[in-house]
Chain A
Amino acid sequence: MESPNSATFEGLLKRGELIESVSEMTPDYLRELKHTLIVSGDTELISAPAYYLAARKAPSVNAFMTGIAIIQDELAHAHIAYHILEDLGESQEALIFKRDPKAFRYPYAFDVPLESWTELVVANAMYDQAGFCLLGDIHEQCSYGPWKRGLVKVMAEENFHLRNGRNWSKRISQAGGAAKEELQRAVDWMFPLTVEWFGLPDNLKQHSAQLDYRLKGLTNDQLRQQWLATVVPFMASIGISVPAHQENSHYVLDYPFPCTFDAEAKRWDFKDPCTWDDVLARWRARGPRNAEMVALFQESFSKFQVQG
């Protein structure tokens, strides 16, 4: 359906100008923008309970403070996304507190429990790096002005999370022995989960409305490569192995992508390749912690509502 203002809208988009209000958008653009914001808001929001359960295992008072500060940042980033969604006509309350856990649109990785300080810092080093790549691209390319501007501080804060992840990963690796083995085990299951975070490979994804509308600028594979180009050398530098290597300017995975994952055991079976339909079915079914994660922030909401 043609919107009355679609010619003006196309003009703005083509000239690389920013869209500032709903009145400048076509219905299709608005829908795609909302979808992208929901994925971003849900991802930031769910990382808070996921990180919290692991931050409780912090090895020092200051480490606990750092963990809590990161959680506070993530909640603030979620708030930015939901606040923009509210400006676009959505109800923040309905989005956060009244959706079914399975309707949340965050990456599957957060449905697999982080159960130790080691797993938390690996999440800071790898999941937050994924967030950094994805949000950095939106920050640079996004055609919607309010979101683009809202991301300036988000990027600085994500940097702090990365730093926590890298500092601690290095420190745990240097400790050696059982500590380093635990770090390696965490990387073993979390690395492929983050690789799939970026979604379908470009050859299977024929068309992206997000790219057409300049909601993002890089393709799934480009973003995945950007992530590999930071994480693979970093892990090598601290003596932790990952199933990927560099060939010329490109990173190549050393396992069939995609392949099967046992979420309960936190184990990948590199000998059992699967299809992207299988992966999408796993994502849709959500993982072990989905209901528990969502309940952590939903359960008390109705308690203090005025009755009647």
Chain B
Amino acid sequence: MSLGVEPLEARVWAVLAEIDDPEMPINLVDLGLVYGVTLEDRIVRVRLTFTAMGCPASDMIIGDIRERLLAEPGVDKVAIEVVWDPPWSSSRMTAEGREALRAWGLSV
């Protein structure tokens, strides 16, 4: 398996890109919610924002990230820091994300 030799940071980003937003058909990375990933002593730190402070899915998203990353070899702990500065805007979405939402009927 190539997964085992792939650098952990790349694997973390790949895992985050596999997690869909619970309300829309778009993954967290394409939506632009992930501000950064750092690794230290088998601890993954994720800096994360939400599209709105009133995001009703924030617990679900945090739960999904924790569950998926803890299943990765080499990860003992996941620390998620929720940040609001800079605030999320639609300009943080990737072109792929924009296209996914357009296909779903939401122009951004």
Residues of A within 8 A of B (CB): 60, 62-63, 65-66, 68-70, 152-153, 156-157, 159-160, 163-164, 167
Q: Which secondary structure dominates chain B's binding surface? A: loop
Contact call B25/A156, Cβ cutoff below 8 A: yes
- In the assembled complex, 16 residue pairs joining A and B whose CB atoms fall closer than 8 Å, in A order, are A65-B54, A65-B55, A65-B58, A69-B57, A70-B56, A152-B105, A153-B105, A156-B104, A157-B23, A159-B22, A160-B22, A160-B23, A160-B57, A163-B22, A167-B60, A167-B63
Contact call B56/A65, Cβ cutoff below 8 A: yes
Q: A260 to nearest B CB, angstroms?
A: 38
Question: Which residue of B54, B56, B63 has the most chain A CB atoms within 10 A of its CB atom?
Answer: B56
Q: Does B39 contact A (CB under 8 A)?
A: no
Known: A63-B59, A159-B22, A160-B57. 17 other contacts (CB 8 A): A62-B56, A65-B54, A65-B55, A65-B56, A66-B59, A66-B60, A68-B56, A69-B56, A69-B57, A152-B104, A152-B105, A156-B23, A156-B24, A160-B22, A163-B22, A164-B60, A167-B60
Q: A235 to nearest B CB, angstroms?
A: 20
Residues of B close to A63: CB separation below 8 A: 59
Residues of B close to A164: CB separation below 8 A: 60
Residues of B within 8 A of A (CB): 22-25, 54-60, 63, 104-105
Q: B32 to nearest A CB, angstroms?
A: 20
Q: Which secondary structure dominates chain A's binding surface? A: helix
Residues of B close to A157: CB separation below 8 A: 23
Contact call A60/B59, Cβ cutoff below 8 A: yes
* Closest chain B residue, CB of each to CB of A152: B105
Partner of A66, one of B24, B25, B57, B104: B57
With A153-B105, A156-B104, A167-B63: A62-B24 Cβ-Cβ less than 8 Å:
no
Contact call A163/B60, Cβ cutoff below 8 A: yes
Determine the distance from Cα of A66 to Cα of B22 in the docked complex, in whole angstroms.
Answer: 11
Contact call B58/A62, Cβ cutoff below 8 A: yes
Determine the distance from Cα of A68 to Cα of B54 in the docked complex, in whole angstroms.
Answer: 10
Residues of B close to A70: CB separation below 8 A: 56
Question: Which residue of A66, A157, A159 has the most chain B CB atoms within 10 A of its CB atom?
Answer: A66
